[in-house]
Amino acid sequence: MPAQKATVAAPDGVVEALPLRCSLVLTRVACANGATRAQVMRDFSQFLSHKLSPAEWRRLALQDIDELLSAGLVSQVRGRLMANEHGNAVVDAFLRRKGASGGTWPETRDGRLIAKGLGIEPVSLRKLKALLSPEGLRAFILHKTYGLQLSGGYTPAKLRAQLAVIALERAFGNKIKTGLGAGSGFSAKAGRLLAGQLSSRPRDLGSDGRLVAALAAEAVDARQTDAEALRVAILRRLAEQALKEEKRPGRVVASSVEKPVAANDAGLPGAAMPPTRRPDPAGFARVVLAIARTCADGWAGNLKAPIARVWKQIAEAHPEWGLREAEFKSMLAEAHKAGHLLLATADLKDKSTAAEIGASAITYKNTQWHLIRIVDAD
């Protein structure tokens, strides 16, 4: 069952619905204590590692976080991302929960997100409690796969009896349930032999528990039959759906733009937007850092982006700010002095980057900066 997007009613009317991938990232950020960028990437990596390289997932995750920040759904304090009131409301709608924001990531992942992946709606507290147990998880997988009734309980024996009838129906194509009820007329071994025919490798699995575990694992393409493997398989499917989903042309940004500003910002007289469209210092630094992360050089813990490189992307992405290059550099220096971001000096001996480093220079008193440092708190 396709997962529904989270619908957003932003004040400016630009954001209408979050792409599924953004909704998943926002769900992680909305958990108790929020999350750093590193935690977001780590916590979803196992569900995407079969489709994306670490670098590819990092690029997409940072892009989604940038969009959530720009949309006003998430704030950032000392490198930690937190969903605000509006962001929490979006996650509540996405997960079909009422006033239950702020649970831990394991609780949300193994409960509400699993329910989302299985297409279980509505999600009562009773169902959530069941999903958190291996037996309940397997029962709901088989319920969604074969249409089993769980109202009378979901012990392996009861599930096996229903599965046996379904196997007979598939074999004979008639309304055999009318005569056999819920399958209680079969012996345990006969029922297992019948239900085992639903497997891709028909066989007697020896016990009702092993039968239920094997069919549940096959239903979600899990590599193993334990609960953790089932959860990973379900969330991988949800993540795959998010990757396949085409993002809306307008992206999740606070405003739409028409014309990009030239990268060298010679400046067109009268082309600048009103100063009121520019962000405050903290908001400016947040957007700059988000863009810097997408074009930084180095390795984890030592990532730096040349200021000239970041400026080109800022000029293209945010012409509504009406910035000239000199103004951009001045705002960077002020953001550095205020502690919103960190600037660094480049190695001037490297001639291969001399042109870009020269264009990046910001001189302040006796100091010259060329790079924006990327600092992530774990």
CATH number of the domain enclosing 339: 1.10.10
Question: Is the per-residue pLDDT at 239 higher than 60?
Answer: yes
195-205 tens-digit pLDDT: 999 998 888 88
Note whether 99 and 228 are same-domain residues: yes
* pLDDT, mean of residues 115-120: 93
267 lies in some domain: no
244 lies in some domain: yes
Dig out the tokens for 216 from the structure: 């549940």
Write down the pTM of the prediction: 0.62
Note whether 95 and 75 are same-domain residues: yes
Instruction: Let me know: does 216 contact 144? Beta carbons within 8 Å.
Output: no
Note whether 300 and 287 are same-domain residues: yes
Mean pLDDT of the chain: 82
Question: Is the per-residue pLDDT at 248 higher than 50?
Answer: no
CATH number of the domain enclosing 98: 1.10.460
pLDDT-based confidence at residue 146 (cuts at 50, 70, 90): very high
Dig out the tokens for 209 from the structure: 């528990």
pLDDT reported for residue 9: 47
81-108 tens-digit pLDDT: 999 999 999 999 899 887 666 689 999 9
Instruction: Let me know: does 159 contact 212? Beta carbons within 8 Å.
Output: yes
pLDDT-based confidence at residue 262 (cuts at 50, 70, 90): very low
262 lies in some domain: no
Note whether 252 and 279 are same-domain residues: no
Question: Is the per-residue pLDDT at 301 higher than 70?
Answer: yes
Question: Is the per-residue pLDDT at 266 higher than 50?
Answer: no
207 lies in some domain: yes
DSSP 23-34: HHHHHHHTSTT-
Give the total number of structural domains in the chain: 3
pLDDT reported for residue 258: 34
Q: 235 or 1, which is more confident?
A: 235
Note whether 176 and 241 are same-domain residues: no
* pLDDT, mean of residues 24-42: 94
Note whether 355 and 288 are same-domain residues: yes
Residue whose structure tokens are 């480093």: 357
Note whether 92 and 139 are same-domain residues: no
pLDDT reported for residue 4: 53
Note whether 251 and 323 are same-domain residues: no
Question: Is the per-residue pLDDT at 155 higher than 70?
Answer: yes
111 lies in some domain: no
Note whether 95 and 167 are same-domain residues: no
Contacts 24+ apart (CB under 8 A), 14-18: 14/250, 14/253, 14/254, 14/255, 14/256, 15/71, 15/252, 15/253, 16/248, 17/248, 18/90, 18/94, 18/252
Note whether 183 and 237 are same-domain residues: no
Residue at which a domain ends, from 202, 219, 236: 219
Note whether 241 and 291 are same-domain residues: no
112 lies in some domain: no
pLDDT reported for residue 353: 82
CA distance 99 to 238: 24
Question: Is the per-residue pLDDT at 153 higher than 90?
Answer: no
Note whether 346 and 215 are same-domain residues: no
* pLDDT, mean of residues 333-357: 86
Dig out the tokens for 325 from the structure: 């290059």
CA distance 181 to 184: 7
117 lies in some domain: no
Most confidently modeled of 107-116, 166-175, 332-341?
107-116
Question: Is the per-residue pLDDT at 161 higher than 80?
Answer: yes
Strands (E) located in 91-185: none
Find the domain containing 233 and state its range. Answer: 1-106+224-256
268 lies in some domain: no
pLDDT reported for residue 152: 73
Question: Is the per-residue pLDDT at 134 higher than 90?
Answer: yes
